[in-house]
Amino acid sequence: MTRIAIVVYPQFTALDFVGPYEVLRMLPDAEVRFVWHEPGPIVADSGVLLVGATHSLAETPNPDVVLVPGGPGCAKAARDERLLAWLADVSTTASWMTSVCTGSVVLAAAGLLEGRRATSHWSALAALSMFGATPVSDERVVRASAASGEGDGASAASGEGDGAKVVTAAGVSAGIDLALWLAGQIAGEERAKAIQLVIEYDPQPPFDSGHRSKASASTVARGAALLSRDALRPSPLTAATALSWDRSLRRFRRGDRRAGGHMLSRASSFAIDRFGAIWR
């Protein structure tokens, strides 16, 4: 069994979490948990999408793989002592500690990237330096290595001693690249290729501005404006919404946890059908 813990915290970015989840859940005998302080509904950065944390951090002491997504809430998550202590603790026994987008800032705050190469969303690369990491701006997936090490991202020598291997991905969509690479490491290249085909991941974007080095100055400015927290107006959960999610999650936790993907989808559908948008 491969035990996978995906951290979900308030104001995470949905694709950071969903893209890798769709890949990793197809690993052989995978058990996926969505973890936070306590089980319950977590609101993504849109203020509309809800994801249920299925297990608490305390209930998940020995994951094989940990994935931390990014999002506007990462700054608060990077100061969450309970989360940081859990990350540091499980990193001593996990096989892989991974992040997508600004989730690397959370790993860095937990002390897992000091003196190592790492990447993040282009808007947050400078923040990695504050925690002693060496930012890498030109690789989609970076396996943590000594800053002086040679290599090209995920293929670089790890330079690691005891504990988990640490891998970071660039912004948002790079999480799918990370998850496919990780699937190859865990289950072999042929399984990873099959998963890639199942999700039909064959990017052919209509524009070539997906990296800051390729984008015009005006596109960068517009992108920065879109990232502004002032553009996001999340609304709080109503009591009825929270109650319904708690009820759905209790049903999930009573079921077969290895069938979590199917059961969580049912819970999500219930909540989405029951409640509309929660914008102010």
Q: Quick one: CA torsion of 229, 232, 238, 242, rounded to 10 degrees?
A: -70
Q: What pLDDT is stored for residue 229 in this prediction?
A: 55
Number of domains making up the chain = 1
What is the per-residue pLDDT for 217?
A: 84
Within-domain flag for 251: no
* DSSP 8-class letter at 59: T
Q: Give pLDDT, residue 219.
A: 78
> Is residue 42 domain-resident?
yes
Indicate which CATH number applies to the domain containing 186. Answer: 3.40.50.880
**Is 204 domain-assigned?**
yes
Torsions phi, psi for 148 (to 5 deg): -90, -5
DSSP secondary structure of 134-186: EE--S-SEEE--BTT--S-GGGS-----SS-EEEEE-STTHHHHHHHHHHHHH
Contact between 187 and 114 (Cβ < 8 Å): no
Q: Is residue 279 part of a domain?
A: no
Instruction: Tell me whether residue 253 is in a domain.
Output: no
Q: What is the pLDDT of residue 270?
A: 34
Q: Is residue 267 part of a domain?
A: no
Instruction: State the Cα–Cα distance between residues 221 and 204, nearest whole angstrom.
Output: 24
Provide the pLDDT for residue 236: 52
- Residue 199 covered by a domain: yes
Residue 248 is predicted with a pLDDT of 66
Quote the tokens at residue 225.
């404006």
pLDDT at res. 137: 92
For strands 117-118 and 65-68, give the pairing: unpaired
pLDDT in 10s for each residue of the chain, 280 residues: 999 999 999 999 999 999 999 999 999 999 999 999 999 999 999 888 999 999 999 999 999 999 999 999 999 999 999 999 999 999 999 999 999 999 999 999 999 999 999 999 988 999 999 999 999 999 999 999 766 554 444 644 344 555 689 999 999 899 999 999 999 999 999 999 999 999 999 998 888 777 777 778 887 788 777 777 544 555 555 555 555 556 666 666 666 444 444 333 343 333 323 323 322 2
Length in residues, the chain:
280
- Region for 145 from its dihedrals, namely left if φ exceeds 0, alpha if ψ lies in -120 to 50, beta otherwise: beta
pLDDT score, position 225: 77
Structural domain of 50: 2-231
Q: Give domain status of residue 113, yes or no.
A: yes
Which residues carry out catalysis?
Answer: 101
